[in-house]
């Protein structure tokens, strides 16, 4: 009596096709989501760089699941040549995803640092401009020799940034100067209170968010490296890289009991003693 199997071959093929369709749908959803964030295209804008990198990283689980479904579909129906070719093609494209997520790590760090640096530079510029304008007005008031001279000097220095409109108070010149300096100091204090530096909490939030995204991006790079595969290779990209790294690391070590580098071919040392062609019976 034949034993029952979970799936008949036809059911397995149908399931593999459905998983393939689900995988392609996930790729399209990810592309649409990222494109919606990237439009309008402003690659030189720091805020755009932060938003697009955040969108790429935060939604990266969508294409990763799609790639996993596609690998599963090809495993369930290995005789479907079209499905296997699609899996192999997307596994090669996944190498670009690995490189892209690794590249997002410095991009995110640079964009976050640029955001904080721009905010601080803007604050410094505003403070420098305000101090210079108030110093010019204060100097004009002190250097005036008459009420007419005072009015002419102030009219030549008026600017929308200060918002000061001095009037002739009908007082002697010394008292007029004193009153104007008092008003000038009051306005200067008001302007300084409007120039607010970014709070430390905001800078810490930018740094912590950047750190979280960079760590997540690196993890996604490793995850895609497990699903990625170079042309002509039967093992995942991550396994291939770890193997190369391990072999080179072992090759750089001197053999036990030796003080220098190995003299012979390292790969010859990996062969069992019985397989050594130079071994004599």
Q: Tell me the pLDDT of the chain (281 aa) as tens digits.
A: 444 555 455 788 889 999 999 999 999 999 999 999 988 888 888 788 888 888 999 999 999 999 999 999 999 888 899 998 999 899 899 999 999 999 999 888 888 888 788 878 888 888 888 888 888 888 888 888 887 887 788 778 765 454 455 554 567 888 878 888 888 888 888 888 877 766 777 777 778 888 888 999 999 999 999 988 888 777 788 877 888 787 887 776 655 554 444 444 444 443 444 444 444 44
User: Left, alpha or beta for 170 (phi > 0: left; psi -120 to 50: alpha)?
Assistant: left
Q: What string of DSSP letters covers 120-187?
A: HHHHHHHHHHHHHHHHHHHHHHHH--SHHHHHHHHHHH--TTT-------SS-HHHHHHHHHHHHHHH
- The secondary structure of 104-120 as a DSSP string is HHHHHHHHHHHHHHHHH
8 Å CB contact between 217 and 61: no
CA distance 7 to 212: 43
Q: What would you report as the CA-atom Rg of the chain, rounded to the nearest whole angstrom?
A: 35
Answer whether 157's CB lies under 8 Å from 137's CB.
yes
> Within a 10 A sphere around the Cβ of 244, how many other Cβ atoms?
10
- Domains of the chain: which residue ranges? 9-120+215-250, 123-194
Considering Cα of 240, then 246, then 250, then 253, what sign does the dihedral take?
Answer: positive
Helices assigned H by DSSP within the chain: 9-38, 46-58, 61-76, 81-143, 147-157, 173-194, 200-227, 237-251, 266-269
Q: Are 260 and 254 in contact (CB under 8 A)?
A: yes
Find the Cα–Cα–Cα–Cα dihedral 251, 255, 258, 264, rounded to 10°: -60
CB atoms within 10 A of CB 214: 19
State if pTM tops 0.85: no
């Amino acid at each position: 009596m034949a034993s029952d199997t979970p799936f008949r071959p036809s059911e397995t093929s149908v399931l593999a096709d459905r998983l393939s369709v689900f995988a392609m749908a996930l790729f399209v959803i990810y592309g649409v989501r990222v494109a919606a964030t990237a439009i309008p295209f402003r690659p030189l804008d720091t805020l755009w760089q932060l938003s697009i990198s955040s969108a790429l990283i935060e939604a990266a689980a969508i294409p990763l699941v799609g790639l996993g479904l596609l690998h599963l579909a090809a495993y369930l129906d290995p005789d479907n040549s079209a499905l296997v070719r699609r899996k192999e093609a997307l596994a090669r494209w996944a190498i670009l995803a690995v490189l892209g997520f690794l590249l997002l790590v410095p991009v995110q760090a640079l964009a976050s640092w640029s955001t904080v640096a721009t905010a601080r530079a803007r604050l410094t510029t505003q403070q420098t401009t305000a101090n210079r304008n108030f110093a010019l007005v204060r100097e004009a008031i002190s250097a005036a020799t008459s009420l007419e001279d005072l009015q002419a000097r102030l009219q030549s220095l008026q600017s929308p940034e200060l918002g000061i409109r001095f009037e002739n108070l009908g007082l002697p010149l010394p008292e007029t100067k004193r009153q104007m300096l008092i008003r000038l100091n009051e306005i200067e204090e008001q302007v300084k209170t409007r120039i607010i530096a970014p709070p430390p909490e905001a800078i810490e939030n930018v740094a912590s968010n950047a750190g979280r995204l960079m760590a997540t991006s690196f993890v996604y790079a490793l995850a895609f490296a497990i699903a990625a595969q170079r042309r002509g290779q039967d093992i995942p990209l991550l396994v291939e890289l770890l193997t190369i790294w391990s072999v080179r690391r072992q090759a750089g070590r001197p053999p036990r009991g030796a003080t220098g580098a190995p003299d012979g071919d390292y790969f010859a040392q990996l062969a069992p003693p019985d397989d050594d062609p130079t071994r004599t019976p």
